Amino acid sequence: MEFKNPLKGKSRTVQILIVVGIIALLIGIAYGTYTMISNPITGTVEPQPTPTPTPTPEPAILTLTLTPETIYVGESWTLTATVSDGTAGIAVTFKEDGAPIDARITNSQGIATLTLTPTLGSHTYTAEAQHP
């Protein structure tokens, strides 16, 4: 096999231009422009967080006391209903053996009292109130 010189018979100027063109082509391949692609990256869009709700205050407790605990026929008892948070103006219904006997409004300390003279025997007293 015989190798032929493609530049043989060409003028020196043409030979130089062809060599420069080949070199420029090689440089263009090595240093030319090209597209770069980055690695993929993922982001997440979350909804706005819900505001923390205001904590619900502890419910008020209605306490009932009886003084004195034991009485004799003809003597009086005092029932005292106390709202634990001291709310004034609450209607308290006093009940004897499940039946309403009277209602009172709590004072500025959240206290309502009822004095009564019960009949002979054992009695169960309760108090009910609707707290706002």
Nearest CA-CA partner of 116 in 88, 94, 89, 91 = 94
**Per-residue model confidence (pLDDT) at position 5:** 61
CATH 2.60.40.10 holds for 62-129: yes
105: which residues sit within 8 A by CB, 6+ positions away?
A: 89, 90, 91, 92, 112
**Per-residue model confidence (pLDDT) at position 3:** 55
Decide the pairing of beta strands 91-96 and 77-83.
unpaired
ω into 47 cis (within 30 of 0):
no
pLDDT single digits (tens) 58-77:
777 888 888 888 888 888 88
118 touches 69 (CB < 8 A):
no
Residue 103's CB is within 10 A of a number of other CB atoms, namely: 14
Domain residue limits, the chain: 62-129
**Per-residue model confidence (pLDDT) at position 57:** 74
Intervals of the chain under pLDDT 70: 1-42
- Cα–Cα distance between 58 and 113 in angstroms, integer? 24
pLDDT single digits (tens) 93-111:
989 888 999 999 999 999 9
**Per-residue model confidence (pLDDT) at position 61:** 83
